[in-house]
A and B are shown apart, each in its own frame.
Chain A
Amino acid sequence: EDQVTQSPEALRLQEGESSSLNCSYTVSGLRGLFWYRQDPGKGPEFLFTLYSAGEEKEKERLKATLTKKESFLHITAPKPEDSATYLCAVQAGNTDKLIFGTGTRLQVFP
């Protein structure tokens, strides 16, 4: 069964304290791995798509990496405005739908 597990469930960081969020997955034929940011009461906002192991993508303070079993979202020198829930999702090769993890709630304190 296709599955996505995110850790930690919650993360508190001091402003400027870099860290990484983990997304482990088991899927039959990965078609794509997606990272989204979700603010309270809002829909998810697209961040990155990764398609194959070894791929990396960056956007401002965020960098996403992918291996055959997991993905990391690295946050460098975070700011309070980076506080949100970060969701990871996978798309299997035989379907058009995404399977989401439960997310990591990130809080960055000044």
Chain B
Amino acid sequence: GAVVSQHPSRVICKSGTSVKIECRSLDFQATTMFWYRQFPKQSLMLMATSNEGSKATYEQGVEKDKFLINHASLTLSTLTVTSAHPEDSSFYICSARDWQGGSVLHFGNGTRLTVT
């Protein structure tokens, strides 16, 4: 079945540094990818929709200058958390829609970001 690969799975960084998270669709092309954030025991909150070859669409309340999204190819989207602070610590999950596979949204295994 369709696979979405997310890397790294865990990252610890110091406050003020930037972190890049990669999301790849391994066996299908994804013109659209989605980035979610999940706090402990809470639901997935959509942060932004990543569109290949164009600017991402951010949800209300999400700082686009803080969370930089690049979707340069049909199989890769990246999320960069710039100038990270402890409150950015969270579980970030990407997803991509496999249109040929019944338009199912498949998820990566997430990235646990800890900012110290």
Contact = CB atoms under 8 A, between A and B. Distances in A.
B97 interface: yes
Interface string B39-70: 00111111001000000000000000000000
Nearest to A42: B109
Contact of A41 (B32, B45, B102, B112): B112
Interface of A: 34, 36, 41-46, 49, 87, 89, 96-103, 105
A99 to B, nearest CB: 8
B112 A97 contact: no
B74 interface: no
B67 to A, nearest CB: 16
Interface in B2-61: 4, 6, 32, 34, 41-46, 49
Interface in B71-116: 91, 93, 95, 97, 102, 104-110, 112
A43 B109 contact: yes
9 contacts: A41-B110, A43-B6, A44-B93, A49-B104, A87-B43, A98-B46, A100-B45, A102-B41, A102-B42
Contacts of A49: 102, 104
